[in-house]
Chains A and B, each alone.
Chain A
């Protein structure tokens, strides 16, 4: 595959000896029309890669914060088709790499081949399908790669060595490491299972490794500096959106939070 925006980002980061800040938001929350503006704010604050969460009615892997965001987005009329339109608008204004983060069913209904084609046209760079196991992934990976999109898979602290190798085999762009067992949501401290998971994944793949789930504070990012190639923050951004839906300064606040978190990644290592 030719280098994608995602692989170029991680090469840049490697050269600059820094980690990438990956920002997740639920697309369409609080309303589809507002997502492009919020993404641009995140990018101004220093987000290096954007994960656009596609709202799904039954988000089994998500905690309460993202569940509520999903419900708001669906109530506001969000759909996978609409998320692609949001991506198109963002792409017109920014070269930031974008990943679609979705449960499988909306993708199945849209049609796999059609989605890969339309996502590419909308400026999407890769897809992560939360409930797609590598065992079922062949047709999906084929369609994504056929349209020049990266296929990103999750590895977890529970993943056996055999599974970590499979995840590495099916992933391009980067591998998303789930820092702990459980659903998405902020936590007070970083899980002890992160460092061993990174180490065991490095042993089976040269791909960049991004760590997510439960990461919400600058000190969490600082602790991962120099260890992980990227750090994903989701629920902390989503909660800020929830608490400031009607605040005209929401975009400004989002930008400030991104900047604060990014500083954690850039601070001198402890």
Chain B
């Protein structure tokens, strides 16, 4: 499939490329070479497939939300259940692939960044599995928001390093992981968790995540008898979205919708919707849409969901956006919270806050889409977000009201 391929320099149209200090250029060239060799190696793919099946739990089910669809009326909503994977999110797909690659390259130490903690947990998990030292950088603010995941990483043997610079969130964690990599470049592998950064990361991460769309495409044809009308996925950096979208790119009738974090409002600093105010720019290795001020300083962002709280979107999404192949919209904090609540109540599925953004957009469009099939990537489960749900859904947390009947 050559529908959306980067050129030799990793460019998707004008986006992507390689914008890193010279110290990292030769190591990135080595990484690209090792990745290209691994991608051609049937044994590598066989080993990865075996781990995805026996360790991560693939294939994940496609689930038809009968009660949710009936309650809203309109489209039939299907969920791709990445939340059922080991470690609770799609992140493990990429981590298994890259950890196999790191081992193949002889690296003894892996560094990673994490926002919500899902990628950090998945990285700590694969490092435990392969016996590789693991250091995870995490913004102090995110450590506060995601305490449970911090503990999980430590339980898995990883060192979690708090990042106190900047906004103390994902962006700053990536900078700190890059600083570690640039310092310890000889023996260290940087396991980037999203479809971001310098080439070959956006390509490599997409290739490790496209299993989501490949499975879902086949499953929806088997269960619904045809392709979906619209596929939905939330977009932070954009790895679960590109993983879902990629195998549908050639199906022109399938609409692809990426959902960004609308935060509190679309005022600057209150959201992380890069296509609502962002401009092309260079951050952390790639050229893509980034939220920034008129002087080219990167803006602070906000989302109730740590995994979407990032100023830049992956370069392939910028390309799909400009070409019109995918559409990008935003969902606010409160819409995401309400969608999570509804999905929990009528289907018994508590989604990750990130994924709740995708569910919310499907719910919003469903009433006007009778007879249509909606495919939503439920990229992660909500266990990690219980504290945030408690803070924001206070009526459920009041001892005097809403007591379950005994």
Query: B-contacting residues of A (Cβ < 8 Å)?
Result: 56-61, 63, 67, 71, 74, 79-81, 103-110, 130-133, 135-136, 153-160, 163, 167, 178, 181-183
Q: Which 4 A-B pairs have the closest CB atoms?
A: A109-B296, A106-B296, A182-B183, A156-B23
A104 pairs with B22, CB closer than 8 A: no
Task: Determine the residue in chain A with the shortest Cβ distance to B299.
Answer: A57
Q: A58-B166, A135-B9 are in contact. Are A108 and B25 (CB under 8 A)?
A: no
Contact with A along B170-195 (1 / 0, CB 8 A): 01100100110011111000000000
B26 pairs with A158, CB closer than 8 A: yes
A133 pairs with B281, CB closer than 8 A: no
B175, B183, B295: the one within 8 Å of A58 (CB): B175
A58 pairs with B294, CB closer than 8 A: no
Of B13-21, B39-47, B75-83, which stretch is located at the interface? B13-21
Total contacts A to B, CB within 8 angstroms? 123
Measured CB to CB, the closest approach of chain A to B196, in angstroms, equals 13
Contact with A along B2-35 (1 / 0, CB 8 A): 0000000100000001111111111101000000
User: Which of B20, B183, B284, B296 has the largest count of A CB atoms less than 10 A from its CB?
Assistant: B296
A60, A133, A178, A182: the one within 8 Å of B284 (CB): A60
A81 contacts which chain B residues (CB < 8 A)? 295
CA of A158 to CA of B295, assembled, Å: 32
Q: Is B161 in the interface zone, CB < 8 Å from A?
A: no
Task: Determine the residue in chain B with the shortest Cβ distance to A153.
Answer: B22
Q: Is B318 in the interface zone, CB < 8 Å from A?
A: no
CA of A67 to CA of B176, assembled, Å: 11
B21 pairs with A154, CB closer than 8 A: yes
A63, A110, A133, A135: the one within 8 Å of B296 (CB): A110
B281 pairs with A109, CB closer than 8 A: yes
Task: Determine the residue in chain B with the shortest Cβ distance to A131.
Answer: B19
B295 contacts which chain A residues (CB < 8 A)? 79-81, 106, 109-110
B183 pairs with A183, CB closer than 8 A: yes
B22 contacts which chain A residues (CB < 8 A)? 133, 153-156, 158-159, 163, 167, 178
B27 contacts which chain A residues (CB < 8 A)? 158
CA of A71 to CA of B300, assembled, Å: 14
A108 pairs with B284, CB closer than 8 A: no
User: Which of A109, A155, A167, A178 has the largest count of B CB atoms less than 10 A from its CB?
Assistant: A109
A109, A131, A132: the one within 8 Å of B294 (CB): A109
A131 pairs with B183, CB closer than 8 A: no
Q: Is B297 in the interface zone, CB < 8 Å from A?
A: yes
Q: A131-B21, A154-B21, A178-B22 are in contact. Are A108 and B281 (CB under 8 A)?
A: yes
Q: Is B298 in the interface zone, CB < 8 Å from A?
A: yes
B179 pairs with A183, CB closer than 8 A: yes
Contact with A along B281-302 (1 / 0, CB 8 A): 1111100001010111110000
Taking chain B's interface residues, is the majority helix, strand, or loop, or is none over half, making it mixed? mixed
A63 contacts which chain B residues (CB < 8 A)? 179
B18, B165, B185: the one within 8 Å of A133 (CB): B18
Q: List 18 A-B contacts (CB under 8 A).
A: A58-B283, A60-B182, A60-B284, A79-B297, A105-B290, A106-B297, A109-B279, A131-B21, A132-B19, A135-B9, A153-B22, A154-B21, A157-B23, A160-B29, A163-B25, A167-B22, A178-B22, A182-B182
CA of A157 to CA of B22, assembled, Å: 9
User: Which of A59, A71, A160, A183 has the largest count of B CB atoms less than 10 A from its CB?
Assistant: A183
CA of A158 to CA of B294, assembled, Å: 35
A110 contacts which chain B residues (CB < 8 A)? 295-296
B296 pairs with A80, CB closer than 8 A: yes
CA of A74 to CA of B292, assembled, Å: 14
Measured CB to CB, the closest approach of chain A to B64, in angstroms, equals 43
User: Which of B24, B282, B294 has the largest count of A CB atoms less than 10 A from its CB?
Assistant: B282
CA of A58 to CA of B166, assembled, Å: 8
B21 pairs with A60, CB closer than 8 A: yes
Tell me the B237-293 residues at the A interface (CB within 8 Å).
Answer: 279-285, 290, 292
Beyond A59-B175, A80-B295, 11 extra complex contacts between A and B, CB < 8 Å: A58-B172, A74-B297, A79-B295, A105-B281, A131-B285, A133-B19, A133-B20, A136-B18, A136-B19, A154-B23, A158-B27
Task: Determine the residue in chain B with the shortest Cβ distance to A67.
Answer: B165
B282 pairs with A104, CB closer than 8 A: yes
Task: Determine the residue in chain A with the shortest Cβ distance to B290.
Answer: A105
CA of A81 to CA of B294, assembled, Å: 11
B290 contacts which chain A residues (CB < 8 A)? 105
B26 pairs with A163, CB closer than 8 A: yes
Q: A105-B281, A109-B292, A158-B185 are in contact. Are A58 and B19 (CB under 8 A)?
A: no
A160 pairs with B26, CB closer than 8 A: yes
B19 pairs with A57, CB closer than 8 A: no
Measured CB to CB, the closest approach of chain A to B237, in angstroms, equals 15
Measured CB to CB, the closest approach of chain A to B267, in angstroms, equals 19
B21 contacts which chain A residues (CB < 8 A)? 60-61, 130-131, 154, 156, 178
Measured CB to CB, the closest approach of chain B to A236, in angstroms, equals 19
Q: A58-B171, A81-B295, A182-B182 are in contact. Are A105 and B283 (CB under 8 A)?
A: yes
CA of A236 to CA of B120, assembled, Å: 35
Measured CB to CB, the closest approach of chain A to B187, in angstroms, equals 11
Task: Determine the residue in chain B with the shortest Cβ distance to A136.
Answer: B17
B185 pairs with A181, CB closer than 8 A: yes
B282 pairs with A135, CB closer than 8 A: no
